[in-house]
Amino acid sequence: TLGVKDQLIFPEIDYAKVEKTKGMNISITTTARTDAEGLALLRQMGMPFRQ
């Protein structure tokens, strides 16, 4: 789960229509059978992880 403090990081949002900025939580779920498979999948998708 990732926490985002401001929805304006998304280019699709029209700044002129935003009255108040809002945050959100984004949860990513996979069907990987092991942690290693899930980690490999997320790395292939460009998710940054500490080494």
In Å, how far from its chain's centre is CA 13? 16
pLDDT tens sequence across 5-35 = 999 989 999 989 999 999 999 999 999 999 9
Residues whose CB is less than 8 angstroms from the CB of residue 15 and which lie 6 or more positions away in sequence, other chains included? 8
In terms of pTM, does the model score above 0.85? no
Do the beta carbons of residue 8 and residue 18 sit within 8 Å? yes
Reported confidence tier of residue 49, pLDDT bands at 50, 70, 90:
confident
3-state SS class at 21? coil
